[in-house]
Amino acid sequence: MRKDQNIAQQTDFLLLGIYLLMVVFGIVNIHSASNASFDVSIFDIGNNTGKQIMWFGFSLFIGLIIMVFDLKLVRASIYPAYLVVLVLLVAVLFMPPINGQKSWFGVGSFGIQPAEFAKITTALVLADYISKINVKLQNIQSVIFANMIILLPGILILLQPDAGTLVVFTAFLFVMYREGITYDPIIVRIINSYPGVRIKNTWIGSNFIPILFVVVILSLLTLTIRESEIFVPFTLIPLRGKFIIVAFIGVVFILYYLIIQRLVGKRDRPKILALGLVSGLLLSLLVLGVDYGFENLKEHQKDRIELALGLEEDPHGRDYNRYRAMSAVGSGGFSGKGYHNATVASPVLNHVPEQETDFIFCTLSEEWGFLGSFGLVIIFSVFLIRIIIIAERQKSTFSRVYAYSVAMVLFYHFAINIGMNIGLAPVIGIPLPFFSYGGSSLLSFSVMFFILLKLDSERGNMLVGE
């Protein structure tokens, strides 16, 4: 009895209150996005709102079970749950495709998407593994194994294909970076394989995530530059102008980063210059690979990227969804048109397809205006900041890694979904957590949230693990 009282006292009710507020507000907006009037009962199980309320109730029930469960049982079930989800990700590949994807198990009018639960099990297994290794003494095997935990479900999700969920899985890379896991062991092993070469660490390995981020940005930059050919002086080798630009930017970036790291001395300047040139060349080769990969994407995937980058314009065709979503967001003005008074995002006119799922934000924006949209951003930002605060106050590595995983996954969904609605990101089917209609989405985010709440409530209990 004393233990239950301690859990209740340690529970972060501010975070729980924000969660409940967002889910309720989401249900309110789903009712408006799915129904033309107030006459439809929100508890009608045949309606999207009724289904969402049912899933919300089920989520709270599962959350209550998680809160009273023994953490020993939670830790013991991590790897079996991870394996079960991997099996489900394989099994779903044999299901009939829905909207071009093999992502769902259909049960009557309901559907379960195993990829949503893969985020939870991956976060738990990654947290458990990192908590057991000495990051300062990490070796090549530990780095590879940590990445394989992320890569295994990622490959299966790619085969569905579900590009949106795959993108979300890159959030775990930042979690590892926060814990100090670098690619030094792998790079050092490769470099030391050469005779007479012995190094202890590498700048590239220690800064892999920032470099990866820059490579992604430069890769997107190359896609915005039209095809052109120039001739390198004193040669007759035609090269694409975009890669010359990327090589130059890569050189400038490497040199600047090394300078601010105070690694440049007079004796080392020739070496630094050579490193900058080589780095620029490698970046260009990487971008070349991205460009080659882009050319071999499916047409609808290439369309989404080109439309998002502004390379093509087709507001009444391929870019219809995003264009109408942006119109709905702008139509709301400062204070909005009022609840159930949306015109562009009206369920009657159906100008915005999937407006209760991927484009729920445009319905909210048109009805509640800039004030409502800004309020949502503030609420979600407070929610994420609170999770980070919770992560930093944990006494165990396991709880901290898991909390940061939750924060990064939610941030990815939040940023990409809103970016889709306002034209800053391609349409890749990312739901807005706790707001978008979808049973699998709401249940998985809720389970992820309640596990975090449970771990935080017992942060003083050493059974959580190191």
- Compute the distance between CA of residue 31 and CA of residue 205 in angstroms, rounded to an integer: 49
Q: What is the pLDDT of residue 263?
A: 52
Cα-based distances in Å from 398 to 223, 312, 412: 40, 46, 21
pLDDT by residue (tens digit) across 79-127? 999 999 999 888 888 877 766 667 767 655 566 788 888 999 999 999 9
Among the residue ranges 163-177, 228-242, 445-459, the one predicted with the least confidence is: 228-242
Mean pLDDT of the chain: 75
Please state whether beta strands 110-112 and 105-107 pair in parallel, antiparallel, or not at all (unpaired): antiparallel
Among the residue ranges 146-155, 205-214, 354-363, the one predicted with the least confidence is: 205-214
- Compute the distance between CA of residue 406 and CA of residue 451 in angstroms, rounded to an integer: 10
Angle at 431 between CA 90 and CA 221, to 5 degrees: 90
Is the pLDDT reported for residue 177 higher than 50? yes
If you compute the radius of gyration of the chain from its CA atoms, what whole number of angstroms results?
A: 24
Number of Cβ within 10 Å of residue 18's Cβ equals 19
- Compute the distance between CA of residue 16 and CA of residue 378 in angstroms, rounded to an integer: 16
- Name the residue with tokens 């709301």: 332
- Compute the distance between CA of residue 131 and CA of residue 47 in angstroms, rounded to an integer: 44
pTM: 0.77
Q: What is the pLDDT of residue 179?
A: 80
Average pLDDT in the 364-385 region?
Answer: 90
Q: What is the pLDDT of residue 258?
A: 59
Average pLDDT in the 328-346 region?
Answer: 80
Cis peptide before 161 (omega within 30 of 0): yes
- Compute the distance between CA of residue 328 and CA of residue 163 in angstroms, rounded to an integer: 25
Cβ atoms of residues 157 and 122 within 8 Å: no
Confidence label for 61 from pLDDT (cuts 50, 70 and 90)? very high
Secondary structure letter of residue 135 according to DSSP: G
186 or 237, greater pLDDT: 186
The CB-side HSE value for 456 (13 A sphere, CA atoms) comes to 26
Among the residue ranges 277-286, 325-334, 370-379, the one predicted with the least confidence is: 277-286
* Helix H or strand E segment including 389: helix 360-392
Task: At 18, list the tokens.
Answer: 């924000």
240 or 321, greater pLDDT: 321
* Helix H or strand E segment including 390: helix 360-392
